[in-house]
Amino acid sequence: MTPGETESARPEAVVRRIDALDIARGVALIAMAIYHFTWDLENFGYVDHGLTAQGGWKLFARCIASSFLFLVGVSLVLAHARGIRWRSFWRRWLGVALGAAAITLVTFYVTPQGFVFFGILHEIALASLLGLAFLGLPFPVTALVALAVIALPQFVTSDLLDPKALAWIGMAAKPPVSNDFVPLFPWFGAVLLGIAAAQAGRRFGAFDRLRLWNQRLGRAAPLAWLGRHSLLFYLLHQPLLFGLVAATAQVYPPDPARILQSDCRRGCMAERQDAAFCSRYCSCISDRLVGADLLERLLAQTTTETENAAIGDMVLACSAPRP
């Protein structure tokens, strides 16, 4: 603080941090690590393929992303509502943007078919810039715009927006494959909801009341520390978890028969909707492949044309109706 600067002129985040918000961010980081670890297990075949892209796991992932983006909006208000601190803003923004670029480069090398071209960090970087325009608006206006941003892609899509160069907008008719895709629409709406909530919180004194809880939350200090270092945790946790699962797979590889039967049942049920048939059919295929010593070669996609013909005969035999 300079000699002529009063404490009230300083941004709220600098005057006194709100531990509850840091803890909330820390909890979201732990949840994200759980999801990514499960994704790694799926990638190496320890759990069913497609598990993290459906049902409760899909909802879990969306809740995690929404919470991060909501907190981005809250943080923008706390840091800049009394005037944008451009030096601090650009320093933080540059860190996020460089992190996003690093994620794109690494995933393009490791998983080129599903590389991350516009993931959560890309969304945070763009949303942080756009969110500045809403800091001076009344919170009801911000909230209404947020709802419109969330709803718009449910009604407006176009094939012209399918290429990756435009898909980040969020209105593609067929979104491209990516291991982490968080487009501007509808996800910018979560940031705007965070801005609106924080604007209302400032108006009605909610943050002052939250600060009173700081001393009571001492036991959650590790989570608060984690929340204050969220970018570093985000960049490091997945390479470490992925490496851990990869190393485990070298020592205790997953059962190839279980992988095959899981994939087989999922594909069969999508086609036949007959659980009894699919269970019998997939067990038959698995047993025949194991007996012919072709299972691992099939999973590794190294079978010859002759072997593929033999596998086709197995499929026909296992598909035949029971006498």
Name which residue leads in pLDDT, 4 or 272.
272
* Residue 13 pLDDT: 43
168-178 tens-digit pLDDT = 999 999 999 99
186-213 mean pLDDT: 95
Considering only 15-24, 96-105, 118-127, 133-142, which range has the smallest mean pLDDT? 15-24
Which residue shows structure tokens 């990638």? 43
287-302 mean pLDDT: 83
* Residue 323 pLDDT: 58
Predicted TM-score of the model (pTM): 0.84
132-136 mean pLDDT: 96
* Residue 302 pLDDT: 84
Q: Which contiguous run of DSSP H or E holds residue 72?
A: helix 55-80
* Residue 8 pLDDT: 37
On the question of pLDDT at 50 being above 90, the answer is: no
* Residue 2 pLDDT: 36
Interatomic CA distance for residues 194 and 77, integer angstroms: 9
User: Do 22 and 75 meet the contact criterion of CB atoms below 8 Å apart?
Assistant: no
* Residue 3 pLDDT: 38
On the question of pLDDT at 4 being above 60, the answer is: no
Q: Which of 61, 60, 72 lies closest to 121 in space, CA to CA?
A: 72
On the question of pLDDT at 152 being above 80, the answer is: yes
Average pLDDT, the chain: 89
User: Other C-beta atoms within 10 Å of 250: how many?
Assistant: 7
User: Other C-beta atoms within 10 Å of 247: how many?
Assistant: 10
Q: Which of 71, 51, 69, 170 lies closest to 127 in space, CA to CA?
A: 69
Q: Which of 96, 93, 99, 122 lies closest to 188 in space, CA to CA?
A: 122
Q: Phi and psi for 162 in degrees, rounded to 5?
A: -70, -35
